[in-house]
Amino acid sequence: MKNRLRETWNSGKPALNGWLGIPSTFSAEIMSKQDFDSITIDLQHGLTDYSIAVPMMQAMSASDATMLCRVPWLEAGIIMKLLDAGAMGIICPMINSGKEAEEFVGATRYAPLGYRSSGPVRAGIIYPDYHNQANDQIISMAMIETEEAVTNAEEICATPGLTGIYVGPSDLAISMGEGPGLDRKPGKVYDAIQYVLKIAKKAGIRAGLHCMDPNYIKEMYASGFEFASLSNDVRLLTQIVSSQINDVRS
């Protein structure tokens, strides 16, 4: 099973992730032709559900980017369905404790390492020897995006089998009494993000976060993050269209 994201990490390089919130096979295909190490279909805050996520993955099947999905919540059923459909990894929101992290990881792994049910309806077709390789290849990233999760970062990061953590800066900021927004500047939210990074590094797992600006991603790579998402398709489309219109209007 080829896994570009793991290959990137194993080479010692940080990974760049694309983010899809538009429920379109064509826009997904366009994004998949870009040089991302992985691409995430967002079923939480995107306008996407399972019935369109599957054809979006099919539209991206020619890409070597690793297919990930963010699930709406910690719920084993949708985690297993998306893995069966061909997702190579899951990002799970609002993981606030080691217990929740353990429940999340268990849903992504077959026994004896987890409790995932066997039925890889599409994954078994597109990935050779799927059952025997899945436990080693599937990526699990727990989102740390509350003050409670920061407090419990050590127990979350110590969860056996967890690939990494993924910081959600906006929700984290809200939980800490500040306004939403990515690319946090020095302050208490930024300090919390750096603390979580330190804990992840100590635990020997990957650390990622959602970003907006390319230069900010470079800064976060330099600080030790190994996974970063570049905005999302909605924002990128809005940004380029708005910029072009402003040029015309000026």
Residue from 99, 94, 100, 135 nearest 114 by CA: 135
Q: Could you give the C-alpha distances from 244 to 21, 26, 175, 234, 250, in angstroms and in order? A: 22, 22, 36, 16, 10
Helix (H/G/I), strand (E/B), else coil: 142: strand
* CA-angle at 90, arms to 84 and 96, nearest 5°: 135
Domains identified in the chain and CATH numbers:
4-139+207-249 (3.20.20.60)
Phi, psi at 77, each rounded to 5°: -60, -50
Q: What is the pLDDT of residue 124?
A: 98
Angstrom distance (rounded) from CA 83 to CA 122? 9
Strand partners, 142: 92, 165
Instruction: Report, as residue numbers or ranges, the catalytic residues.
Output: 45
Q: Is the pLDDT of residue 68 over 90?
A: yes
Contact 75, 54 (CB under 8 A): no
* pLDDT for res 7: 98
Could you tell me whether strands 227-230 and 89-92 are parallel, antiparallel, or unpaired per DSSP bridges? unpaired
Count of CB atoms situated within 10 Å of the CB of 136 = 11
For residue range 153-174, list pLDDT tens digits in order: 999 999 999 999 999 999 999 9
What DSSP state is assigned to residue 118? P
- Please write the tens of the pLDDT for every residue from 185-231: 999 999 999 999 999 999 999 999 999 999 999 999 999 999 999 99
Residue range 88-120, pLDDT digits in tens: 999 999 999 999 999 999 999 999 999 999 999
In this model, does residue 1 exceed pLDDT 90? Answer: no
User: How high is the pLDDT of residue 93?
Assistant: 98
Distance between start and end Cα atoms, the chain: 51
Q: Quote the pTM value.
A: 0.97
- Could you please report the per-residue DSSP string of 73-88? SS-HHHHHHHHHTT-S
Amino acid in position 12: G
pLDDT at 185: 96
243 CB neighbour count, 10 Å cutoff = 9
- pLDDT of residue 78 exceeding 90, the answer is yes
Rg (CA), the chain: 17
pLDDT of res. 228: 98
Which of 96, 114, 77, 48 has its CA nearest to residue 196? 96
Both structure tokens of 179 = 């306004």
Is a pLDDT exceeding 90 seen at residue 140?
Answer: yes
What is residue 119's DSSP assignment? -
Task: Tell me the average pLDDT across 38-60.
Answer: 98
